[in-house]
């Protein structure tokens, strides 16, 4: 038993080491450097942020810097957090406890194979809604997608934090875009204008593009969360064994918008999705 726990600890340590010092290290470093360089440029140019700082009105400058810091901390939290890696076959026990034999007998024939679903890569029992990530080399509970921006999977344990990070990041970007727009100075010709505003113009365009991307990403995630579906399930439902027999508008995990949002943001425990799924099947039968 002791050697089993030691093995799991080694796997977790290796995973954390890979997350910190692997290929994601460059991505995270670039993200942090870009964030603070943009923030510095907003302070160096003649924006309202700099004017407030020079006149001693420090409330907004301090709040902006603190919000940027919070966004960076959330980024690292989501990036380094365990998204729900499956490291053992304990999911078998959860499955057995979550679904009764009577419920299993009521499952349509097309879904009976789900009871013995094993990953073809790591050979572990896969709880429902999990998927093996080729990049992370682990199965992830309630897998949503692998995000190259954070160089980590988005899954059961960090999905809500990922959405929170997007909200904070969007606020920072929109605020930064507003600050950038207040710093442009007038010039008689385009050449003079570009000389005095070129760097701020580049920052403004970059922040505007990132704002649009984050807005679309946040909107799509909130929409999918309200339906209690994941990006992977939404994009690949025709290939997923427990969904491909469902109708186009049928989602066995949908419990209504309010309950879906409440469960996503307020339920911190592990959900046995087999139980939810089979209860819906039983109700239909």
For 56, phi and psi rounded to 5 degrees? 85, 5
**CB neighbour burial string for 136-145, b if at least 16 within 10 angstroms, e if fewer:** bebbbbbbbb
Q: Which residue has 């439902």 as its token pair?
A: 237
In degrees to the nearest 10, what's the CA dihedral of 61, 62, 63, 64? 50
Q: And the tokens for 116?
A: 């013995």
Catalytic site residues?
A: 147
Q: Please give the radius of gyration of the chain, using alpha carbons only, rounded to the nearest integer.
A: 24
Long-range contact pairs involving 63-68 (C-beta distance under 8 Å, separation at least 24): 64/39, 64/172, 64/175, 64/176, 64/179, 65/39, 67/168, 67/171, 67/172, 67/175, 68/35, 68/36, 68/39, 68/172
């Amino acid at each position: 038993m002791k050697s089993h726990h030691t093995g799991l600890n080694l796997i977790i340590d290796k995973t954390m080491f890979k997350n910190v010092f692997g290929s994601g290290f460059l991505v995270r470093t670039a993200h942090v450097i870009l964030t603070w360089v943009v923030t510095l440029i907003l302070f160096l140019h003649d924006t309202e942020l700099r004017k407030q700082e020079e006149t001693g009105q420090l409330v907004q400058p301090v709040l902006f810097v603190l919000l940027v810091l919070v966004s960076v901390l959330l980024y690292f939290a989501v990036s380094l957090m365990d998204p729900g890696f499956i490291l053992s076959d304990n999911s078998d026990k959860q499955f057995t406890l979550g679904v009764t034999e009577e419920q299993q007998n009521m499952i349509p024939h097309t879904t009976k194979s789900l009871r013995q679903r094993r990953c073809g890569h790591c050979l572990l029992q896969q709880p429902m809604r999990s998927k093996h990530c080729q990049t992370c080399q682990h199965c992830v509970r309630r897998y949503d997608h692998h995000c190259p921006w954070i160089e980590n999977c988005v899954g059961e344990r960090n999905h809500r934090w990922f959405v929170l990070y997007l909200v904070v990041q969007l606020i920072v970007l929109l605020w930064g875009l507003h600050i950038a727009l207040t710093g442009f100075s007038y010039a008689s010709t385009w050449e003079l204008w570009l000389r005095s505003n070129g760097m701020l113009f580049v920052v403004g365009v970059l922040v505007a593009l990132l704002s649009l991307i984050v807005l679309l990403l946040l909107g799509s995630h909130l929409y999918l969360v309200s339906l209690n579906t994941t990006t992977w399930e939404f994009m690949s439902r025709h290939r997923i064994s427990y969904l491909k027999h469902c109708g186009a508008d049928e989602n066995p995990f949908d419990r209504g918008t309010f309950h879906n949002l409440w469960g996503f943001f307020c339920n911190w425990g592990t959900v046995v999705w087999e139980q939810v799924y089979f209860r819906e099947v039983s109700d239909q039968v």
